[in-house]
Structure 1
């Protein structure tokens, strides 16, 4: 089982030069001879490390384990006591579990952080919690519900990430509800919160959320006002570029293609095409109506026997200081292959793919980014690895 995508069928690498679609079969290019990368293990022995982040200005690493705990690495050591343990509130059936966390932009002042997980009924839940008097332990009694999204039936396609955008609003990437081919049509249904990017205002001190006044469907009774973008299948990691203000969304495909959509963080109302399209191709049809759909800037095909991969794991644009040569490179991997690859995106064009030849670290569950902008890869083998110069 690879839990990031069920019911896939193997279907080749396709790099798009622009959002105009089309494609040739470009082969990834090797990295420059003057720069080589390696993966240095930071910690091992974790239980399905699924996300890594840190508050602004904080040298610690906070690592979410899918069964429901958040662990802290401080001064290179894994602390014994979890920061948070919500294992009683979730399950790991299918693709369920604790899937990510995010710190409030003013965490240093208010101590708020947010969890994205599936509850014991399988519904998507986002809770706000607060740190206790001990900086390494959260206050379990502080938990309040921000939003719940019903997810009946299938155990897969829960999406799984939340993150604060440069505008201070909270973004959530939800899956289409599961099953092959979005059988309930959620991704294109404007009254469903599944298969969407949601944008919420959680800036108040009270529980819950408000609708940002510039959300694209504000005031429309025929559409859920929380929706920022639609047409997503199972967005497995999105990221805001800290410099360029672009939003990168890696969306897991059905059986043929994996894609990355790139848009200005201020550009709401995009329809990313699923299930009308899978990547740049019509899904399950000879023709399809593409008018109004946002075509991905980058995709790759699985290839025979999943030679190129089966399920994209999206990462981040590198903006750290340790490897300045990597500035502007967007990193990604694939759950089935364990590689490390990247491409630059400049002036609306995705550049050539670099294969960094760092070896296969097993099933890559996620990337992470620390407060300094350095990047990490998280493996199902229980290891967390920092991307570093060789």
Structure 2
């Protein structure tokens, strides 16, 4: 609903209400719209910067919006005002679903935003394979550069008719992504009818949607192409909507990438090689009474899961230690 809350035990402090932003920036919710992503700048102690993504009501439509906000550098979250700094990017969404919205500061200092294909079944606009639109893509920005805030080393800079914010494309709806300790992007990409995907997202890559779903043909058969295939795919017997996870830095799951499914409540984990691919078979930890809408790390590096159904934040551990 647009509230950014700081939780300290049982105490909740409202830090920001995106409904109070100026016209053209105020949040609009409903469907898969709303306040969708937040990350804290690694240099927060000195710059007080956060990045937020949400859907805003503008010019009679819905716009995915990415902006930075500032507060007192190094201050305890919620203790000082959080004010709008720079609007980095907006794009109109054709429908109310597949908005993506996960935002992360990368280890290279850039800011990454994952966007879905714009909605409806089957990608009717063909956004996933269209480099002229930022929809269905992983985008990369430098918040310290002037508009359009595009790093000069983005993979498609200099190409005519291409959105230069694009870092990789061919995504359906990247619902949460994260960086490994080595800097590789790992994303959960929500499927259409058959398959959910976990995939590495290399620079300049085509992840295949809507030519492929998972590793199977979708819009055409045969479906040749220079695609980066997902390294883990599961079908409807295991879930209906993947939620990308995080690499645990501590505890019994340390070094393992932990992710889940929003519909089934199943949780998996796997250790990763330096290139972001699995070092062994993906392990299922079973199904739980949760709807994982997001994963995060606490200050010690343990994995937390956000349970949408019951409004809880839970730590994921290993039974018996």
TM-score computed with the length of structure 2 as normaliser = 0.89
1:150 shift after superposition: 1.4
Q: Which residue is equivalent to 1:308? A: 238
1:196 shift after superposition: 0.4
* Contact kept in structure 2, 1:298 and 1:350, CA below 8 Å: no
1:98 shift after superposition: 0.2
One of 80, 87, 94 as aligned partner of 2:12: 80
Aligned pairs for 1:15-34 within 5 A:
none
- Secondary structure of the residue that 1:187 maps to in structure 2? helix
* Contact kept in structure 1, 2:64 and 2:90, CA below 8 Å: yes
1:131 shift after superposition: 1.4
Segments of 5+ residues of structure 1 without an aligned counterpart are 1-66
Q: Give the whole-Å Cα distance in 1 for the aligned partners of 2:281 and 2:260.
A: 15
One of 136, 143, 164 as aligned partner of 1:202: 143
Q: Give the whole-Å Cα distance in 1 for the aligned partners of 2:70 and 2:126.
A: 37
1:163 shift after superposition: 0.3
Q: Which residue is equivalent to 2:206? A: 271
- Secondary structure of the residue that 1:139 maps to in structure 2? coil
Per-residue CA deviation, residues 213-270 of structure 1 (Å, 9 max, x unaligned), is 211111222211111000000000111012x32210110000100011125xxx4110
By relative contact order (CA 8 Å, sep 6+), the higher-ranking structure is 1
One of 41, 58, 78 as aligned partner of 1:104: 41
Q: Give the whole-Å Cα distance in 1 for the aligned partners of 2:257 and 2:176.
A: 12
* Contact kept in structure 2, 1:71 and 1:78, CA below 8 Å: no
- Secondary structure of the residue that 1:163 maps to in structure 2? strand
Q: Which residue is equivalent to 2:127? A: 186
Per-residue CA deviation, residues 136-187 of structure 1 (Å, 9 max, x unaligned), is 24535434311101112x1000011010111110011001000000000111
Segments of 5+ residues of structure 2 without an aligned counterpart are 21-25
Q: Which residue is equivalent to 1:383? A: 312
1:370 shift after superposition: 2.4
| Residues 122 and 211 (structure 1), Cα distance of their counterparts in 2 relative to 1, 3 Å cut | same
1:132 shift after superposition: 4.6
Aligned pairs for 1:32-71 within 5 A:
67-71=1-5
Q: Which residue is equivalent to 1:245? A: 183
1:85 shift after superposition: 1.5
Q: Give the whole-Å Cα distance in 1 for the aligned partners of 2:30 and 2:118.
A: 14
Q: Which residue is equivalent to 1:127? A: 67
| Residues 162 and 371 (structure 1), Cα distance of their counterparts in 2 relative to 1, 3 Å cut | same
Aligned length: 306
TM-score computed with the length of structure 1 as normaliser = 0.74
Following TM superposition, the consecutive aligned residue runs of length 4 or more in structure 1 with deviations greater than 4 angstroms are 347-350
Aligned pairs for 1:133-282 within 5 A:
135=76, 136-137=78-79, 139-152=81-94, 154-204=95-145, 208-242=147-181, 244-263=182-201, 267-282=202-217
1:84 shift after superposition: 1.6
* Contact kept in structure 2, 1:130 and 1:138, CA below 8 Å: no
Q: Give the whole-Å Cα distance in 2 for the aligned partners of 1:240 and 1:165.
A: 7
- Secondary structure of the residue that 1:109 maps to in structure 2? helix
The root-mean-square deviation of aligned C-alpha atoms, in Å, is 2.0
